[in-house]
Amino acid sequence: MNNAKILIIEDDAPIADLLSYGLSMEGFHTRTAADGAAGMQEIQSFQPDLLLLDWMLPDTSGLEICKQVTSGYNLPILMITAKSDITDKVLGLEFGADDYITKPFDLREVIARVRTILRRVEQAGAGAKAESNSEGYSFHDIDIITEERLVKKNSHDIELTPKEYDLLLMLVRNPGRTFTRSELLDSVWGYHFAGDTRTVDTHIQRLRKKLEAQEYIATVFGIGYKFKKQVLQHDT
C-alpha cells in the first residue's frame, strides 16, 4: 500500500507541496497538478491509485473533474474542500468521491484517510479473488468477472468507479433481497453516513445508465433497491 501512487490536484502551491511531502515521507509516490486540465493529463500518464482533489480549481470545479474521472476511470477520490456545509459534502459524494476532508486539515488525518480508502480497495479485490478464481455473474448481455473486478457488456469493458462496482456486486450477490439505502451505505461505503442518503440514489442511477440495466436493478418504493432474482446466472 505504501508504494501506491497519489495524484494531488490542488492550485494552492503550499498546500500541494505539504501534501506531496507528507505522503512521500510515508512511502507514497506523488505528483501534483495545479488545475483540472493538467490533472486530467496526469491521470492518463501517471495512472495513480488514488486522487486527492481540491474542490475549487482555477479552470473548473473539482466536482466537474470528479464527474469526468468517475465516468471514465476506476479511481478512488478523496475530495479536499473548504466547504463545511453538509449539503456540499453530500454533493461531493454524489458526484463519485469516496471520502472528503475539510480545510484546514491535519496532515495525519489526510494520510489516515488515504490509507483507509486504499485498504478498502485492496480488501475488496482480495476478497473477490479469495472467493473463487472462476466466480462470475451474468445477466442479459452483462458479465461480472469478480477476480478482475471487471464488468463487460456485449464483451466490451464498462468503466465503473470502485463504489459503483461494489454497489453492483452487493446487489447481485443478494438477488431478490431488498436493501435500504442506509444498509447499502453501511455495507458499500464502510461507515454509516449520518446525513442524506441521496448518494446511494445517484450511484444507482449511474449504474443503470452505464449498464443500461434499468429493468434489473429495481426500486422498492419507500425502502430501497434490489436486484431481480430471476434474471441472474451464476458462473462457476
The pLDDT > 70 percentage for the chain reads 84
**pLDDT reading at 2 higher than 80:** no
Q: Delineate the domains of the chain, giving CATH numbers in brackets.
A: 5-126 (3.40.50.2300), 132-235 (1.10.10.10)
pLDDT tens for residues 157-216? 888 888 888 899 999 988 889 999 888 887 787 654 444 677 788 889 889 988 887 788
What tens digit of pLDDT does each residue of 14-71 get?
Answer: 999 999 999 999 999 999 999 999 999 999 999 999 999 998 899 998 888 988 888 7
Mean pLDDT rounded to a whole number for the chain: 83
What average pLDDT does range 90-112 have in this prediction?
83
pLDDT score at 88: 64
Q: What is the pLDDT of residue 48?
A: 95
Q: Where are the alpha helices (DSSP H) in 47-160?
A: 62-72, 86-94, 107-131
- Quick one: which H or E segment has residue 226? strand 224-227
DSSP annotation of 75: -
149-153, long-range: CB < 8 A, 24+ apart = 149/74, 149/124, 149/125, 151/211, 153/211, 153/212
pTM of the model: 0.65
